Structure 1
Amino acid sequence: MANLYVALLLAGLHTFAYCHRVPAHHERENEHHISPKHDHNAPYLKLVPGNVDFAFKFYRAAAEGSGRNNIFFSPLSISTAFSMLSLGAKSNTLRQLLSGLGFNQTDITEHEIHEGFHHLLRKLNSPDAEHELNIGNALFIDEKLKPLKKFLDETKHFYMSDVSHANFENPEEATNQINSYIEEKTRGKLEDVIKGLDPEAIMVLVNYNYLKAYWRNPFNYEATREGDFFVDKHTAVRVPMMNRDGFFSSYHDTDLSCQVVQLPYKGSASALFILPDPGKMKQVEDALNKDVLFKWLHSLRRRRINLYVPRFSISGKYVLKGLMRKLGVIDVFTNNADLSGITREHNLKVSKALHQSFVNVHENGTEAAATTVVEIVPTSLPPEVRINHPFLLLIHEAETNSILFMGKVRNPKEN
């Protein structure tokens, strides 16, 4: 049996915060609500429940074996890649893929899923002068593999996939070709992702997802100071803590014992920092679902806060076979796989599936060092929110209700 090697790659999320000036307290940050302006009949809206459920299910699967490590991944990258793969799946393999991705086929048809991704990718890739977001897919195919025209046409139409030939008989050449493509699409943030191709590989599927965004109201580099981050009740590490006293959309969830603070980027994306009370991380993790997320987004209210956020850079690498099996996606990795929608033959399976991600959150010191920044606020002391112990991070795109990136920062000093 020939092996179909699927590589699922996340482009590095590189967030810059230009510090030309910190606005005064009366300059309001635009809030990102759960009900943005969009066509309520847009096909991608039918994907929202499944995509959000998948994000949290995958998070829990990844968290089970993470120990004391940080977690960071792009649920949208993984779901897009496996959904594109499902174009070639049939029978039980197809049912497992769609179910594992959070799609109930009594509520959404297979065509609606692919049409939804088509419109979602077009929407997210729309040029926006305020942030850069590029999401795309590619197929690298051995010349001896003859995919069905229908499969190729649908990957190009629904997923806007690039299609290239690769010489898999020369693994080093094919590896260099694919890694160069990934490095280019991720602006150099992900290098040498593929270390060794399966010797029987005849096709590689790649997804990339790259975001470069700017804080709507940046932190002042001059205000960053070293501070303690409490990894646990016995361990503290010194990290650069960014600080800004201003108005933020926030919510204190008394039921789950956590603080939620939203920091908007220019454009339609925002970062949600979820800070559980000490000892309550597992309680929050166990409760994560789409209803909780939407409750948080609906409950955000503008308040004056003296906010401290660590500057950090973390990455994540995942072998997806075991994680997807936890979500019920089993057959596609075995000799029982039915990927006959690719070639009509029952001789393909997924041998490997990888995911790699990167995030860098900071205030762009070079710009700030050349600027004197003064923020004038009322003299009364506001409440403090110090994100100085393990927290959850969501990068949320408001117009499509998409979770672009998700993770847990246990130790911002560890990459």
Structure 2
Amino acid sequence: MATIGLTLISALLVLSGQHSIEAYTSSAAFRDTTAIALHNFGVDLFCKLAPNWDRNENVAISPMSMYAVLSILLPGLQGSSYDQVYHALGMSHLDGDGIDRESDMCGLVFQENANYELHRANRIYSDLRVQIKKSYKQAAMTHHKSPVKKVDFVLAPRKSRKKMNRYVAKHTNDEITELIPQEAITQDTKIFLVNAIYLKVLWQTSFIRQATTKANFQISPTRSKQVSTMYTSSARCFFQPNYPSLQSDIVVLPFKGNAMSMIFIVPTSPGNFAPLESATASGDLRQMMEVVWNTHYPEMETCEVHLPKFKVHHTVDDLIGALQLMNVSDIFSPDDADLSLMTTEQLYVSDMRHQAVIKVDELGVKATGATSIGISGRSYPTLVQINRPFMYMIRHEATGALLFMGRIVNPK
């Protein structure tokens, strides 16, 4: 019996250890326990992808976007296909149904907020000859507001591709215009799942545009370059030098209204990302966030901050290999995939693509990834210089959800 390819597309635009076996519990760092599952999934996936990157490559991904695409697929799976994805998403550690919990978290993350602009757009494109089960269509709409749109992949592949790329471009402010390349659509293509995220958010304290200047950035112990570096003398900031388990400095800069924050993890040895991309990284980073948010985050102080301007447009083409390393294999196999709750067609996942664009400037972060806080009474600001390669994360404060992450090795 012929197999049929199912292609998932995850599109994001953004400016701006091992999993435990016990049930997750909420904390100041992760107020929604689904955010813990998202964090572990995102960091684990990042670490599985890292060996494929050039050592000087700037990276941007959206864990939230990829988590959402797999969650949209989940109600269509059965048997071990379902179990493998469910466990990889960390949903087995949640109280209650994981799909419901993920939907609830997304409802909180994407609700309207005066402090930022954050939108999502989900859509399922199905070849007009494929019959999608009513129960799956209802689940996709209920949990992810993801309608099914009919296209003709067989007789009108170019028109179908143009339609899907136009949809992604519209919902990423025209930053991602060619997510789906021509070769992605074949005679076996039956379904595309598309997810797009757009974020625009301002810093709590803007950088002074006139003060941006060229400054030294130490790419490695033996290599440096001059890069455009932003400056502010009065940012509210959390700074922890030389955090032991990560061998890095930790910097947290809040966005407007403290609704979101950006975390910078800066290895003390320039360019040494090994502690941040190891097998224990998700646990080490999670522990760091627990320590910072549970005990130290309220102790923000006035800081003099130097931060490179940068823009990254990053494409991930090897998601399948990374997910296979996370024990998700059946859905990629023509023989083993079970998508029978989606359609009676014999489908398997033949392709996964992800793009992210992140731009950080003096005003804030623009994607195309409130509690009062006291300021320390220092008479002079703490000097914070982010002048070495770093990992970054953007998180939603009310839930702890990890929206975007990446690394900057060579700011451009």
TM-score bracket, normalised by the shorter chain, equals 0.7 to 0.9
Distance 1:278 1:388 in 2: 11
For residues 10 and 151 of structure 1, the distance between their equivalents in structure 2, rounded to whole angstroms, comes to: 22
Supply the distance in 2 between the matched residues of 1:253 and 1:102 (Cα, whole angstroms): 30
Paired AA for residue 323 in structure 1: A
Alignment match, 2:401: 402
**2:367 maps to which residue?**
none
Distance across 2 between alignment mates of 1:85 and 1:364: 37
Change over 3 Å in CA distance of 1:269–1:254 after alignment to 2 = closer
Q: Say if 1:295 and 1:4 are closer, same or farther in 2 by CA, change over 3 A.
A: farther
Matched, 1:353 2:352: yes
Matched, 1:162 2:151: no
Give 3-state SS (helix, strand or coil) of 1:222's partner. helix
- CA RMSD between the two structures: 2.3
Cα shift at 1:384: 2.2
TM-score by length of structure 1 reads: 0.85
- Please report how far the alpha carbon of residue 285 of structure 1 lies from its aligned counterpart in structure 2 after TM superposition: 3.6
Do the aligned residues in 2 keep the contact of 1:260 with 1:296 (CA within 8 Å)? no
Alignment CA distance shift 1:337-1:113 (3 Å):
same
In structure 1, the residue matched to 2:60 is 72
Equivalent in the alignment of 2:12: 11
Q: Which residue of 1 aligns with 2:101?
A: 116
Task: String of CA shifts for 1:290-345, please: whole Å, max 9, x gaps.
Answer: 22322233333323332110000012211211111111111101111011111134
1:252 and 1:394 map into 2 onto residues whose CA distance is 17
1:244 CA drift (Å): 1.3
For normalisation by structure 2, the TM-score amounts to: 0.85
1:222-249 CA-to-partner distances (Å, cap 9, x unmatched) read: 1111011111112212211111122422
1:262 equivalent in structure 2: 252
Alignment match, 1:291:
287
Equivalent position of 2:218 in the other structure: 230
Q: Does 1:129 align with 2:114?
A: yes
Q: Closer, same or farther in 2 for the Cα pair 1:343/1:254, shift >3 Å?
A: closer
Matched, 1:206 2:194: yes
Stretches of 4+ moved more than 6 A in 1? none
Counterpart position of 1:48: 35
Q: Cα offset for 1:253?
A: 4.7
After superposition, residues 294-373 of structure 1 pair within 5 angstroms as: 294-298=290-294, 299-300=296-297, 301-319=299-317, 320-335=319-334, 336-345=336-345, 347-364=346-363
The CA deviation string for residues 122-169 of structure 1, in whole angstroms up to 9 with x for no partner, is: 222211222100123110111110011000000000111132111112
SS at match of 1:63: helix
Distance 1:135 1:253 in 2: 36
Question: Percent identity over the alignment?
Answer: 24
Counterparts of 2:277 and 2:292 in 1: how far apart (Å)? 14
Evaluate the alpha carbon distance shift between residue 8 and residue 305 of structure 1 in structure 2; reply closer, same or farther with a 3 A threshold: same
For residues 358 and 382 of structure 1, the distance between their equivalents in structure 2, rounded to whole angstroms, comes to: 32
Aligned residues: 375
After TM superposition, give the deviation of residue 176 of structure 1 in Å.
0.2
Distance 1:381 1:293, change over 3 A: closer
In the alignment, is residue 186 of structure 1 matched against residue 172 of structure 2? yes
Kindly provide the amino acid, as one letter, of the partner of residue 294 in structure 1.
E
Question: Can you give the 5+ residue segments of structure 2 that lack an aligned partner in the other structure?
Answer: 17-25, 365-376
SS across alignment from 1:213: strand
Larger mean Cα displacement after TM superposition, 249-258 or 124-133: 249-258
The alignment partner of 1:396 has SS state of: strand
When residues 34 and 397 of structure 1 are mapped into structure 2, their CA distance, relative to the original with a 3 A threshold, is farther
> Does the CA-based 8 Å contact 1:334-1:349 persist in structure 2?
yes
Aligned-partner residue type, residue 404 of structure 1: L
Letter in 2 for 1:275: V
CA positional deviation for 1:218: 0.3
Query: Residues 114 and 75 from structure 1, CA distance in 2 versus in 1: closer, same or farther, beyond 3 angstroms?
Result: same
Map of 2:86 onto structure 1: 98
Q: 118, 138, 143: which one pairs with 1:153?
A: 138
Could you tell me whether the CA contact under 8 Å between 1:8 and 1:77 is conserved in 2? Answer: no
Q: Which letter does structure 2 place at the counterpart of 1:251?
A: Q
What secondary structure sits across from 1:344 in the alignment?
coil
Contact 1:228 1:237 in 2 (8 A): yes
CA distance in 1, matches of 2:242, 2:9: 35
In structure 2, the partner of 1:374 is none
CA-to-aligned-CA distance 1:192-238 (integer Å, 9 cap, x gap): 11012331111100111110111121001011110111111122122
Give the Cα separation in 2 of the matches to 1:7 and 1:316: 17
Checking the alignment, whether the CA contact within 8 Å between 1:11 and 1:208 is kept in structure 2 is: yes
